[in-house]
Amino acid sequence: MLNFYKFSVETLDMRDVNWYNQRGSGAGILLITMRKFTSRLLCGILGSLFSVFFSKKFPRTIRVECTNACNAKCTICPHKNMTRKVEFMSDTLYEQIIRECAENSCREVHLHNFGEPLLDKKLEQRITFAKSNGISRVKIFSNGSLLTKDRSHSLIEAGLDEIKISFDGATSEEFETIRTPLKFNDVVENIRELVKVRNELCSPMKIFVACCSTQDRSETMNLIASEVDGFAFGKVHNWGAGLSHDNAGKLGDMRQVRKPCVRVWNTFTILANGDVALCCLDHDGQMILGHLDERTSIRSIFANADYKRIRNLHSAASQENIQLCANCTKSFL
């Protein structure tokens, strides 16, 4: 017991000590130690498994930010706080990315990141280029506000494999409070029109709806459940602590158990200017792991020392040493 207590004290950091001191509980030190032990065990096991299953030298999923422009100011998104230049990816860079993905049999390419992809007037052209180069699955994540009938036709004809539409709110009031200045009825109608066009063209394209914030999930599903291919409900997260939100969970709670984030093993996020961000939650490009241009490659960046360091820290439950991951809600169970 003495050795266990000694281990407990030595492995505490200042945040642990503050948490313990504020509560003044003799059980606090045991609770914190158990949290650390469980975090290290879980991260070690999962990190090892991720290294085995995602051991290829090329990412499983490539996320291409064709643009970081957006036409919404959602309350659960930090886009309004972004300091990066709003821009569109060049054709030269995009084509380089797709060719390398094709050469390495990349499984999936997402043409979105931190912006509304339908603002990109070249989106259909980009989809066609990816499909013609042998990319098996191309998908986008959209807020649905710009899905006109004509746009639905062109996306399907370009060969889009999947679209996921954000739809947070079971009522007009809830939706429009969260997704300012989008209109509830417009997005509902756009989704229905997209489904109708898809069915008329006999397209295999999948249509999903994603919800992160809603008071009544069942009511939200009932709105269009019979028309889309499925719903994906997720927890509101804090964008790597880049957004403080009441529903995003407590940040850095010392009682929480950490988990490794699979994104650092299987996903590669390329910003519109060619910078490679840590993940899709790095909305402002705080942690850049490389830069893509004619002299560099996805493969070389994905295997560089920075990526290896990030994976090692996640495997050791030491995400507090990574600025973006330290208080990210997705780094905890």
Question: For every one of its 333 residues, what pLDDT tens digit does the chain have, with 9 covering 90 and above?
Answer: 333 333 333 344 445 545 455 555 555 566 667 888 899 899 999 999 998 888 678 999 999 999 999 999 988 888 888 999 999 999 999 999 999 999 999 989 999 999 999 999 999 999 999 999 999 999 999 999 999 999 999 999 999 999 999 888 778 888 899 899 999 999 999 999 999 999 999 999 999 998 876 667 677 677 787 789 988 776 666 665 554 444 444 444 545 889 999 999 999 999 999 999 998 889 899 999 999 999 999 999 999 999 999 999 999 999 889 988 888 888 788
Fill in the DSSP letter of residue 108.
E
How far is residue 66's CA from residue 233's CA, in Å, rounded to a whole number?
25
| Structure tokens that stand for 10 in this block | 């030595």
Can you tell me the distance from the alpha carbon of 89 to that of 271, in angstroms, rounded to the nearest whole number? 8
Long-range contacts of the stretch 169-173 (C-beta < 8 A, 24+):
169/213, 169/214, 169/215, 169/220, 170/214, 170/215, 170/216, 170/217, 170/219, 170/220, 170/223, 171/219
What is the distance between the alpha carbons of residues 268 and 64, in angstroms, rounded to a whole number? 8
**Pair 170, 136: CB distance under 8 Å:** no
- Please, are residues 245 and 238 in contact by the beta-carbon 8 Å criterion? yes
In DSSP terms, 165 is beta-bridged to 142, 209
d(CA 58, CA 64): 15
Q: Distances from the Cα of 109 to the Cαs of 55, 97, 140, 211, in angstroms?
A: 19, 10, 9, 22
In the block, tokens 């746009």 appear at 151
Q: How far apart are CA 116 and CA 66, in angstroms?
A: 9
